[in-house]
Amino acid sequence: MAVFSAILLTAAPPGLASEAGGAFVKIDGRESLLKSIELFLNRDQIKHIFLVLMPDVAEEAKRKHGAHLSFSGVKVISAGPRWVDQIFAAAEALPPDTTHAIIHDAARPVVPYTDIDALIESAEGAPAIALSTPVRSRLVELDEGEQPVACHSPTQYVHLLTPQVYSIAKLKEMTANRREAHASELKLIKGSPLNIRLGGTGDATLAKAMLNLLPKPKIKPANPFEEAQW
């Protein structure tokens, strides 16, 4: 049986400024990283959850959220500053029963439960799986001086999202070679366009609206009366 460990990263993904702090944007008074953690709670297949924090904020975050994280069974790791640094640090801390690792950007709190279900169900069919969404408009390529040099059709590209799922063998190989997975190694699954990345406080209102649009998972009834209503 597959055993999943979820790894939530707070560093900026490749291509974004290293100071990007979307994981700490507050939505209704709670940081995005806490809402992102909730995506992986109460799932039978996910046995372990790790939150990777930048070293300069790790102690403050532990003081602020330590009780909540401990109650939820979340283990905290300090690593950075790069995205890959956090992945490699978490990979070395995974329990031996882990067969697959779910990598997620903690600045993406709006993920339908059905997208995560699809990733888990497909995990044994490929060593690396990622969510993606279509690009809706033409892309303009810029040179180093930010001058346009070419246009590209949107049909040639997709947005690469998280969560992403890696077999433990693939993750160990990536860690040993200190590299991320190549695009050609990924199996892509179509994800929801609601899955936006928070880049700053200005995105909090949009994220709140997006969260209200998410379908609600069915909860197993606690008693026969609830089961009849369900």
Nearest-angstrom CA–CA distance, 196 and 210: 9
- Mean pLDDT score of the chain, rounded to an integer? 91
The upper half-sphere exposure of residue 196, i.e. CA atoms within 13 Å in the direction of its Cβ, equals: 17
Q: Rounded to an integer, what distance in angstroms lies between the CA atom of residue 200 and that of residue 206?
A: 11
What pLDDT shows up at residue 113?
A: 96
DSSP state of 181: P
Is residue 76, in this structure, part of any structural domain at all?
yes
Q: What is the CATH number of the domain that holds 108?
A: 3.90.550.10
145 in a structural domain:
no
Range of the domain at 96: 4-133+159-229
Residue 154 lies in a domain: no
Per-residue pLDDT tens over the stretch 46-104: 999 999 999 988 899 889 988 889 999 999 999 989 999 999 999 999 999 999 999 99
DSSP conformation class of 133: E
Could you tell me which of 88, 108, 84 has the C-alpha nearest to residue 175?
88
| Phi-psi sector, 71: left (phi>0), alpha (psi -120 to 50), beta | alpha
Length of the chain: 230
Its sign, for the CA torsion 48, 51, 55, 58, is negative
Report if residue 149 sits inside a domain: no
Whether 148 maps to a domain, the answer reads no
**Dihedrals φ, ψ of 191, to 5°?**
-110, 180
Structure confidence at residue 21 (pLDDT): 79
Residue 224 within any structural domain of the chain: yes
Give the mean pLDDT of 181-209.
95
Check if the beta carbon of residue 6 is closer than 8 Å to that of residue 29.
Answer: no
The answer to whether residue 147 sits within a structural domain is no
Number of domains in the chain: 1
Q: Would 217 be classed as within a structural domain?
A: yes
